[in-house]
């Protein structure tokens, strides 16, 4: 049975653990574990395991969680997947003036 998200803010502490960040993301989106699973292509059981930290989401799911998040929270999830700002800037196309 999918649990309801709690009312914890995504930004409640400076470095919440991954499970709490996923719970906070669901709360911000006002969705169940089942719905979050549908949005990222995982089962509700996987979401439950990630939230309890009994399993860690693979990188492809961390990237998808980031895409559902605010820009600040996106970077948290992407960094968990091993993606850094430097990586993204390195592959972004540059304008003729050399600026982004």
**pLDDT tens figures, 14-65:** 456 999 999 999 999 999 999 999 999 999 999 999 999 999 999 999 999 9
| Confidence at residue 8, expressed as pLDDT on a 0 to 100 scale | 45
The CA distance from 91 to 55, in Å, is 31
pLDDT band at 2 (very low <50, low <70, confident <90, very high): low
Query: Which one, of 86, 56, 93, lies nearest residue 22 by Cα?
Result: 56
Work out the number of other CB atoms within 10 angstroms of the CB of residue 99. 6
Domains and CATH numbers, the chain: 18-91 (1.10.260.40)
Q: Is the pTM of this model over 0.85?
A: no
| Confidence at residue 3, expressed as pLDDT on a 0 to 100 scale | 52
């Amino acid at each position: 049975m999918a649990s309801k998200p709690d009312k914890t803010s995504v930004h409640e502490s400076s470095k919440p653990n991954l499970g709490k960040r996923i719970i906070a993301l669901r709360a911000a989106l006002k969705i169940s574990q089942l719905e979050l699973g549908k949005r990222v292509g995982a089962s509700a059981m996987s979401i439950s395991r990630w939230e309890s930290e009994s399993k860690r989401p693979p990188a492809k799911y961390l990237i998808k969680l980031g895409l559902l998040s605010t820009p600040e929270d996106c970077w948290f999830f992407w960094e968990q997947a091993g993606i850094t700002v430097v990586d993204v800037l390195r592959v972004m196309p540059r304008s003729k003036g050399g600026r982004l």
